[in-house]
Chains A and B, each alone.
Chain A
């Protein structure tokens, strides 16, 4: 296929001083004319607002810690506001756990481990987990609304991805609880004991499920710390767990910020730490655990290459690019944030991508037709803005979705840069936002070399219609997950985790069990 679109000849258009709208960035004039999505004067069929009903969910003014099967007030009675990032409204307040609270939670988990959980017949552990899975499904819409309200992600994603996958994780690991002998053949294993688990704000309930389900299935008890900005669904999960009649203390949930996390990591009463988050924090945790001789698994950052060969199914590849970088506002550790396009199809891919990007609907997370929601926090928005600025300063050409952003809340237009070099910050640092860096290559060897030229190694994408090329390139990519002709797919049966500085240990599938057992020798 050929194209007569030219897309690389103009630098970013900067707004004049005092110009009210944000940096309007456009393609060259001839491109604009050809791929304008709405013709002037055409009868425009617009989607009416389609808000998901949420009035039935009543939030209390504040939420306590879930410790030993009940809600307890934090020792210092400190509560932090929980924000709706799409409006900056305060939704409620969540307890800030400090050392004494973490200690209480760890003790509760230890007691539960010794008294109930390690003695609990595996088949019963399974049944508890099945109960949780079912209860999540039963309350799925409510959880989806909360996830979108608190996290800013579109209800379409929380409804169709986050919550069903969370339930599926519990369902999957439930079945393992009484079959560990088949998972670890030739080896006798036992649970580690009490696991401290720290999760990020991008997939709050799903990450809680990734952590809690395998730990419990293997016979451990847990203390989970949700992310500071997104505690709500974890608190709902606590309630679900309470209603499932799990023995008190098997799951404890302590909300709070970095201090809470650090108190948890270094607490002497733990047997294991599992962390998902940034590489920077991950290294600190790795060091702390090294000092303590404590087992640790880390699922950290990424800067994944999404490689488009000239023989790729291009329309699906463009969907994969969009899903790879704009899914969940790009707040995805495995986001396909570096697009490597074979030079011969660069222009057509960029034109298709730009056109497709204009159809993305950015807006209220609770609108059922929203594709891209709000940035999770002000801090994250500022980080994205600063990295995007560095891209502009480096002379890269910027393209973005033309749309009006809401006046309140944290928003960022889906954006991509062309003319990016590997040495640019936007090609090296994890942006964790809806910003894509486009680079080109000429041969498969060059693609692989560029893809692997990073400290990270979490994921990668390969798009080609040629099976043998797909196999070979997938094998040569140093990344824990390689998506061939698809992107950002997740499943509880499928292992997920990184190479190099993207962390170690696997979550999901058979391999997700190993981090929660030790060999009995």
Chain B
């Protein structure tokens, strides 16, 4: 007789802890041939996540870039050691064995890629400016702050990590609303994050309904930037409009084909630049 499996409760990941929705509500999803209940984040969960992200942010951006790189590399290590778990999760939501493995490998490699970016961003995006007066003048990037990401729906893994990794690599903290197609994979990613020395609150992962959570994040006055991956133009417009209340930096994309996430444009400096602010510092040079 086969051993009876122990099923996992799919929770939200807020402030470094796995929690149920404050409302106690869940959303049913069929994964791997059986129905699971995923936590359904509410407006208050989104608020809590933003609070956690804000609290974590000064510490995260205050760490050395080298240290952030080490932590993201540790995340890659955790993902590597959970390859089977991640792949099983993808297969449960319908991926083939080959496709699932390919996606997991791509996701891990992406983490390694951004681990290496942390201490390059400032160098690549800084200029020393030859001003026409006796002043030392440098422009360099700083993280924007708390970034909310409305992640693409599918596939479940590579887009999720591809959107939040560059943002935290730059020193931001994030609240990610995962796509609703596969909440289990979002939780699997959260488990990797939770075991990778990522400080609590730097990455917060919510599952639930976009229509419920996204407007809260878009309108939240303590969120500094919004990364929107939405096929529905009208919804994107409405969220963008709400984001203008405190002039969030907004990046808007339609949801691309799955193949995009494995192509050359799915990672790079262009994924970091929208979530940094250029600060220019002047100082006289003279005796």
Scan B259-283; emit 1 where CB is below 8 A from any A CB, else 0: 0000001000110010001111111
Interface residues contributed by chain B, number (CB under 8 Å): 36
Q: Once the chains bind, are B129 and A293 in contact (CB under 8 Å)?
A: no
A173 CA / B47 CA spacing, docked (Å): 44
Q: Mark B112-146, 1 if CB is under 8 A from A, else 0.
A: 00000000000000010111110101010010100
Task: Report how far A489 CA is from B131 CA in the complex, Å.
Answer: 10
Task: List residues of chain B with CB within 8 A of the CB of A293.
Answer: 233, 237, 252
Q: B interface, by DSSP: helix, strand, loop or mixed?
A: mixed
Q: Which residue of A lies closest to B137 (CB)?
A: A494
Contact B127 A491 (CB under 8 A): no
Residue of B nearest to A501 (CB): B247
Whether a CB of chain B sits under 8 angstroms from the CB of A504 is: yes
Interface contact A489-B132, CB-CB below 8 Å:
no
Does B270 contact A290, Cβ atoms closer than 8 Å? no
A510 within 8 A of B: yes
Q: How far is the CB of A353 from chain B (nearest CB, A)?
A: 20
Looking at the complex, which one of A491, A496, A500 makes contact with B246 (CB distance below 8 Å)? A500
Decide if A283 touches B245 in the complex (CB within 8 Å).
Answer: yes
Residues of B within 8 A of A186 (CB): 269
Q: In the bound complex, how far is the Cα of B270 from the Cα of A298, in angstroms?
A: 20
Within 8 Å CB of A287, what residues of B? 241, 244
Is B90 located at the chain interface by the 8 A CB criterion?
no
Contact B270 A486 (CB under 8 A): no
Cβ contact within 8 Å between A511 and B241: no
Which of B244, B250, B273, B282 is in CB contact (< 8 Å) with A482?
B282
| Closest A residue by C-beta to B249 | A504
Which A-chain residue is minimally distant from B128 (CB atoms)? Answer: A493
Are B278 and A506 closer than 8 Å at their CB atoms? yes
Contact across chains for B265 and A521 when beta carbons are under 8 A apart: yes
Known contacts A283-B247, A504-B247; is-contact A495 B127 (Cβ 8 Å): yes
Closest to A287 in B: B244
Interface centre among B144, B237, B245, B282 (most CB of A within 10 A): B282
Flag whether B243 is at the interface (Cβ < 8 A). Answer: yes
Determine if A291 and B241 form an interchain contact, defined as CB atoms under 8 angstroms apart.
yes
Query: Do residues A501 and B279 form an inter-chain contact, with CB atoms below 8 A?
Result: no
CA distance A499 to B280 in the complex (A): 11
**Among A187, A491, A506, which residue has the most Cβ atoms of chain B within 10 A?**
A491
A419 and B278 CA atoms in complex are apart in Å by 34
The closest CB in chain B to the CB of A485 belongs to B284
| Cβ of B219 to closest chain A Cβ, rounded Å | 13
Are B281 and A511 in touch, CB under 8 angstroms? no
The reply to whether the CB of A81 lies closer than 8 angstroms to some CB of chain B is no
Asked whether B131 lies within 8 Å of A491 as measured between CB atoms, the reply is: yes
Q: B224 in the interface, Cβ–Cβ < 8 Å? A: yes
Residue of B nearest to A489 (CB): B282
Contacts A/B (CB < 8 Å), 21 sampled? A187-B270, A290-B244, A291-B237, A291-B240, A455-B246, A482-B282, A484-B284, A485-B283, A486-B135, A486-B283, A491-B137, A493-B129, A494-B129, A494-B131, A494-B137, A494-B139, A494-B280, A497-B278, A506-B278, A509-B129, A510-B139
Q: Which 10 A-B pairs have the closest CB atoms?
A: A491-B131, A290-B240, A484-B283, A493-B129, A495-B139, A286-B244, A494-B129, A287-B244, A483-B282, A482-B281
Q: Which residues of B contact A (CB under 8 A)?
A: 127, 129-133, 135, 137, 139, 142, 144, 224, 233, 237, 240-241, 243-247, 249-250, 252, 265, 269-270, 273, 277-284
